[in-house]
């Protein structure tokens, strides 16, 4: 049964899609895991980053509307299987009105989770019905955060939504950790925000990942080539950092699974 991980932050520009892409490709490339990446962001950047033409093929929008099954929407890439998204998904808040609208993704994933080791979900930079669908389906959340005060504020606001989902939809939802991106440890701000992030993580019952992702132009360039950062620039700082981050995720999730906790039934 797959371990389902959603990456989330209502603040945009924090490296959420980059981290989703690196996690999905890293799990497949370095650990030989069978991975399904699901793009819940209407911008469709995750599928594009993994080398797909997001204008062709069935998308998660078609799946959540009930027009096709999850199996029919899955597309293979050089790294993992992907279900893409596009701008049509931006109308989800108004269009998905059924009583079970918060569980559409969980229900759609149910027939395929046994075929994968991991499902990685990229969410939109908002707290809406799409985000709640990801939280309802996930075993774990990972929160990417840039070393900025506004990014920190976004995390504190996430806590209310997470608590609400735990109360009603997914009591075993676990926050695996906060991953600091675009990090320059030489700046005072980065060090101060890291300390504040550790305080927020403690309040949420989680931690800040030991790895911080350093910034580099290679992160921005890789998606244009349809390559993971590991293949595009294997010796760059972000590539090395993301490799360490993926190792942390594997260690933590396998530990949770062995302990019988945090896995969404």
DSSP string, 135-167: HHH-SEEEEEE-SSHHHHHHHHHHHHHHHHHHH
The pLDDT, as a whole number, for residue 263 is: 36
Q: What's the rounded Cα separation, in Å, for the pair 163 and 204?
A: 9
Please give the average per-residue pLDDT across 112-126, as a whole number.
Answer: 96
Distances (CA, A) of 69 to 65, 96, 111, 253: 10, 17, 9, 28
Share of residues in the chain with pLDDT > 90 (%): 71
The pLDDT, as a whole number, for residue 265 is: 39
The pLDDT, as a whole number, for residue 56 is: 83
Taking only the tens place, the pLDDT of each residue in 184-230 is 988 998 889 899 999 999 989 999 999 999 988 888 899 888 899 99
Band (260; pLDDT cuts 50, 70, 90):
low
- Stronger pLDDT, 216 or 73, i.e. the higher one: 73
Lowest-confidence range among 12-16, 130-134, 190-194, 258-262? 258-262
Band (261; pLDDT cuts 50, 70, 90):
very low
Q: Which two tokens stand for residue 40?
A: 């819940």
Lowest-confidence range among 53-57, 59-63, 250-254? 53-57
Share of residues in the chain with pLDDT > 70 (%): 97
pLDDT of 98 > 60? The answer is yes
Degrees to nearest 5, angle at CA 253 with 177 and 21 = 70
Q: Are 243 and 120 in contact, with CB atoms under 8 Å apart?
A: no
Q: What's the rounded Cα separation, in Å, for the pair 106 and 138?
A: 8
Q: What's the rounded Cα separation, in Å, for the pair 72 and 59?
A: 9
Q: What's the rounded Cα separation, in Å, for the pair 68 and 250?
A: 32
Q: Residue written as tokens 């509307």? A: 65
Helix (H) or strand (E) holding 134: helix 129-137
Global pTM value: 0.94
Q: What's the rounded Cα separation, in Å, for the pair 127 and 125?
A: 7
Q: What's the rounded Cα separation, in Å, for the pair 247 and 194?
A: 21
Q: Quick one: CA torsion of 96, 106, 243, 84, rounded to 10 degrees?
A: -40
Q: What's the rounded Cα separation, in Å, for the pair 179 and 24?
A: 15
Q: What's the rounded Cα separation, in Å, for the pair 3 and 167?
A: 21
**How buried is 196 (Cβ within 10 angstroms: 0-12 exposed, 13-18 middle, 19+ buried)?**
middle
pLDDT of 256 > 80? The answer is no
């Amino acid at each position: 049964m797959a371990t389902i991980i959603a990456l989330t932050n209502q603040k945009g520009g924090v490296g959420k899609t980059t981290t989703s892409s690196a996690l999905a490709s890293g799990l497949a490339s370095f650990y030989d895991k069978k991975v399904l990446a699901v793009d819940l962001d209407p911008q469709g950047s995750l599928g594009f980053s993994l080398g797909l033409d997001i204008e062709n093929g069935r998308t998660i929008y078609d799946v959540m509307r009930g027009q096709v099954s999850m199996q029919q929407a899955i597309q293979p890439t050089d790294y993992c299987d992907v279900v893409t998204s596009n701008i049509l998904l931006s109308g989800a808040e108004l269009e998905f009105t059924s009583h079970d609208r918060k569980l559409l993704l969980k229900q759609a994933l149910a027939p395929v989770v046994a075929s994968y080791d991991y499902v990685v979900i990229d969410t939109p930079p908002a707290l809406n019905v799409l985000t709640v669908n990801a939280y309802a389906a996930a075993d774990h959340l990972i929160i990417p955060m840039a070393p900025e005060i506004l990014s920190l504020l976004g995390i504190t606001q996430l806590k209310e939504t997470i608590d609400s989902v735990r109360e009603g939809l997914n009591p075993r939802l676990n926050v695996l950790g906060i991953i600091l991106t675009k990090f320059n440890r030489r700046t005072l701000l980065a060090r101060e925000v890291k300390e504040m992030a550790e305080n927020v993580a403690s309040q949420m019952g989680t931690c800040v990942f030991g790895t911080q992702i350093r910034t580099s132009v290679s992160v921005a360039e890789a998606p244009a080539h349809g390559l993971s950062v590991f293949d595009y620039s294997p010796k760059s700082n972000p590539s090395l950092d993301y490799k360490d981050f993926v190792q942390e995720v594997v260690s933590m999730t396998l530990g949770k699974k062995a302990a019988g906790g945090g896995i969404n039934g």
